[in-house]
Chain A
């Protein structure tokens, strides 16, 4: 038996990733709030793959509960994937701190709280892998989504540090930076087709990058180059742009 723990399991990327790992013979813990809503999805995974799939109730904002949630797992996972993400509303978050805090806490604080616990365990066991789904939005702050972007930037920095720390323990950390993905989160946006990935393609990329112990994955791959350009626009120019 070999479990992978997926947190934020209700997201489209998480579900596609769950299918990808189950297909390759992994058992799954799916953690989410109101996890019972995933019962039909569990049946889907089992019917497709015959793997064992268990639901874990987890509120990423209830930091105090995280240790207990992890302790209750009888068999510890051999890897963890966080697909936690809350885009929020940028304009609202600019004037309403509660919205801003929700964005920061969901995307960053909550993940740190849980990953700290798991990282300690993996480090002790000297095995395991950690995958954090961050975002290209964290590569440079833009006016259209900089609250979300700054939380993802913090997550990216955290994952980078974690990778550095766990290197000696042979625990591998993968930072995933999706560009546009056609999901519930982006349903109302008009996304450019050539730059937009399907969740299934993102999941395949994640699986393959994790298996190969890659450090940073941009998906679609073209985003590595898009963001290289965007990061290199001089600030005096960038501050006047709308992208």
Chain B
């Protein structure tokens, strides 16, 4: 059975290898060039796709937990959701979590994922004390920021292109509730949105949903949601019953009109100005995980997420231009998520820089990639970059301009004979 990514595009044939013991993995790596590790298939594009895939998801053992320091030792195939299920009731939470909990720890490191608290806590690599990785020659190395800084900087955010992560030690953070006090701020345009982000930037968690189809002086209107954990001692976190999308929707199901209706309902539901809610972890952090296979709403041709980030100085102008271009194109985006990011880190290919990022979903259809190419030009013009974890189509030139450390990364791969061994469709396209 061939594996796909979350965007269900492209669909390619691949050979999937599983391993139980390190010796088996070593043999797989020895015998195959052109191979890429794969976790739970939640990256959107082709960063974990290739003709040869190493499935790391079955490596899902918890190894140890230190109650004193909150250091959790797990294998790389463990899902973040499994960590939450075991540790939220005991008063621990992930220091950094993305908008889905259905990703593996190995994937979190390889994408150096970030969350609603990036402006405070940074990327996932910040909570990684060490991890074990099997390199191109089959050697297993314990990697940490201090002991092997180059390998650490290359692997965190390195999209699986430096080797196969086997396990990791990550710090959890103490919480005293599974509930979050959320404040929702409804804004009328981009200017108000930016002001709201600035006003609430000391809140540890923040994210905004933007209505991408708004036109004229309403461009950039949003719902900004900020929040922090409560302190009420309620830690009764249990798995909720999931709803599921049982089959692919016909691709016409999602058109301009239905997206408009959705955005209107979503936006209309919120009270004007500032309102307050108490929400649980799943509602606040993982709203879409409640619907299994939500990727199927985009139809069988699949979809992609276009996520870019612009430096703070150019963010306002750049976003205005990009939102106008999207609005003009009439291509619907269900979700448009805007977020303010904190300081950039040292990792060669980590996505975040200090500034604003926007993420939009598009179903794959004729004319889409032309539109995205146009958006790329604006991103490049304003010195921004594209998020590899979401990407399935960016060209080499756009990619390189966004990532100034790419040469260092390439050289590191070459020196360690990783460049032919570990490759994905994406790494070949953008020439990593």
Contacts and interface: CB of A to CB of B under 8 A. Distances in A.
B4 to A, nearest CB: 12
B275 interface: no
Interface residues of B, number: 11
B86 A44 contact: no
A226 B103 CA distance: 34
Contacts of B86: 47-49
Given A48-B82, A48-B86, A49-B86, A43 B62 contact: yes
B252 interface: no
13 contacts: A23-B85, A40-B63, A41-B61, A43-B61, A43-B63, A44-B60, A44-B61, A44-B62, A47-B62, A47-B63, A47-B65, A50-B90, A190-B1
Interface residues of A, number: 11
B69 interface: no
Nearest to B72: A47
A48 B61 CA distance: 9
Nearest to A40: B61
Interface string A38-77: 0011011001111000000000000000000000000000
A41 B61 CA distance: 7
Most buried by B among A41, A44, A50, A193: A44
Nearest to B247: A194
Interface in A21-50: 23, 40-41, 43-44, 47-50
Determine which residue in A47, A49, A50 has the highest number of CB atoms from chain B within 10 A of its CB, and name it: A47
A47 to B, nearest CB: 4
B415 interface: no
A49 B1 CA distance: 33
Contacts of B60: 44
B217 interface: no
Q: Closest 4 A-B residue pairs measured CB to CB?
A: A47-B62, A44-B61, A48-B86, A44-B62
Contact of B64 (A23, A41, A47, A50): A47
Contacts of A50: 90
A36 to B, nearest CB: 15
A23 B239 CA distance: 11
A212 to B, nearest CB: 16
Contacts of A48: 62, 82, 86
Given A40-B63, A44-B60, 4 more contacts: A41-B61, A48-B62, A50-B90, A190-B1
A43 B74 CA distance: 11
Nearest to B62: A47
A44 B63 contact: yes
Interface string A196-213: 000000000000000000
A44 B58 CA distance: 13
A41 B58 CA distance: 13
B169 to A, nearest CB: 12
Contacts of A40: 61, 63
Interface in B67-91: 82, 85-86, 90
B360 to A, nearest CB: 30
A43 B90 CA distance: 18
